[in-house]
Chain A
Amino acid sequence: DTEVTQTPKHLVMGMTNKKSLKCEQHMGHRAMYWYKQKAKKPPELMFVYSYEKLSINESVPSRFSPECPNSSLLNLHLHALQPEDSALYLCASSREAPGQGGGYGYTFGSGTRLTVV
């Protein structure tokens, strides 16, 4: 299995809703990441999990709450989002964590297209 699987593919939620995005990989990768991508912009790093521990939070608002239940799963819990949070949310994984050397590539999922109404 050489894929990162993200569910759901599309999500529409109201500003008072609570929802979760899920990401799964079975490649034995030690690091997992959440990125946010607005239309016609490059992906922006949100969170980094290294060995199931949150290592980097790139000043993301608290209405986004990541969780890594085990080495294969990564969740992003959403609460009280704003319309400007509408974007493509991408999950990625890599064999080694940042700062661990190696230079391996990242594997990305196809993303969850989120619309906040």
Chain B
Amino acid sequence: DAKTTQPNSMESNEEEPVHLPCNHSTISGTDYIHWYRQLPSQGPEYVIHGLTSNVNNRMASLAIAEDRKSSTLILHRATLRDAAVYYCILRDVGYGGSQGNLIFGKGTKLSVKP
């Protein structure tokens, strides 16, 4: 599975935007970029995913670089409930084979200050 690199931790102020970076220089053409977050004492939660174009949903936005070697998860207004570990994961969804499992890296621990 391709690897991602994320900062170990980031801090944000409440009600301000947060930009969480992820580098994935060895991304392949069939890798989707997935983001999950894990709040304390809970299972991971799907946030967003994309392939080439920027994506928006009710939780966040995903900005993907033109060469796809990096991406940024954007939380538009951080709240205290957004404090979590955020995982950027490449998932190969090519047909056939046994690839495509969701393999977690270390993630970024986001702290939100009131």
Indicate if the CB atoms of B103 and A103 lie closer than 8 Å: no
Interface size grouping (class) on chain B: 20 to 34
Minimum CB distance partner of B44 in chain A: A108
Number of A-B pairs whose CB atoms are under 8 Å? 68
Query: Does chain A have a CB within 8 A of B28?
Result: no
**Chain A interfacial residues counted at CB < 8 A:** 26
**CB of B104 to closest CB in A, whole Å:** 4
From B46, B100, B105, A99 is in contact (CB under 8 Å) with: B100
Stretch in B17-25, B61-69, B72-80, B86-94 touching the partner: B86-94
Q: Give the residues in chain B near A33, CB-CB below 8 Å.
A: 101-102
Chain B residues packing against A (C-beta within 8 Å): 32, 34, 36, 42-46, 49, 51, 85, 87, 91, 93-107
